[in-house]
Amino acid sequence: MKYHSHIENLDEDGYTQLDFSTRDIHKRPMISDKGSRAPSSPWRPIAVGLGILCFVAVVVAAVLGALGVFSRPCLPNWIMHAKSCYLFSFSGKSWYGSKRHCSQLGAHLLKIDDSKEFEFIESQTSSHHINSFWIGLSRNQSEGPWFWEDGSAFSPNSFQVRNTAPQESLLHNCVWIHGSEVYNQICNTSSYSICEKEL
What is the 8-class DSSP label of residue 38? P
**Element (DSSP H or E) covering residue 136:** strand 132-138
Instruction: Give pLDDT tens digits for 72-117.
Output: 799 999 999 999 999 999 999 999 999 999 999 999 999 999 999 9
Q: What is the pLDDT of residues 143-172, one digit of tens each?
A: 889 999 999 999 988 899 999 888 767 789
Kindly provide the residue ranges of all beta strands, DSSP E only, lying in 25-166, ordered along the sequence.
79-81, 84-93, 108-109, 132-138, 147-148, 161-162
Q: Is the pTM of this model over 0.85?
A: no
The per-residue pLDDT for 49 is 83
Q: What is the pLDDT of residues 117-139, one digit of tens each?
A: 999 999 999 888 889 999 999 99
Number of H helices, E strands in the chain: 3, 9
